[in-house]
Amino acid sequence: MTKEELKNRTKEFALRIIKLVEALPRTASAKTIGNQLIRSGTSVGANYRAACRARSTAEFISKLGIVIEEADESAFWMELLIEGNIMKSNLVHPLLTEADELTAIITSTVTTIKKKKS
């Protein structure tokens, strides 16, 4: 997957997160989780773009670490939506799968870069 394809995929992830949060019920718990999810979910794409502008390999790896953290955090909030019965699993699960896939892709990228540096 190219950097451009991953930029587009992380941006699409952010847009899907926005739609999911907008569809949440209007309860206190949904609002709290939604606020956290919107921050972490949109941060995935923003930080990936920042990583693409890194000035060094070390900076690139560091910024990708943030992407991994934010994608994993997004998965956590979506798990809470499902397990807390705030939103039906079938509405959240495809996006949760995408968060897991993005985490795996970026983690693999970091591992590959570190191996090449050694």
Q: Residue 88: pLDDT band by 50, 70, 90 thresholds?
A: very high
Fold of 3-117: de novo design (two linked rop proteins) (1.20.1440)
pLDDT tens per residue across span 91-117:
999 999 999 999 999 999 999 999 987
Burial of 61 (0-12, 13-18, 19+ CB in 10 A): middle
Domain edges within the chain: 3-117
Q: Summarize the confidence of residues 25-30 as an average pLDDT.
A: 97
d(CA 51, CA 81): 29
Does 34 score more than 80 pLDDT?
yes
pLDDT tens per residue across span 50-60:
999 999 999 99
Q: Count other Cβ atoms within 10 Å, centred on residue 25.
A: 10
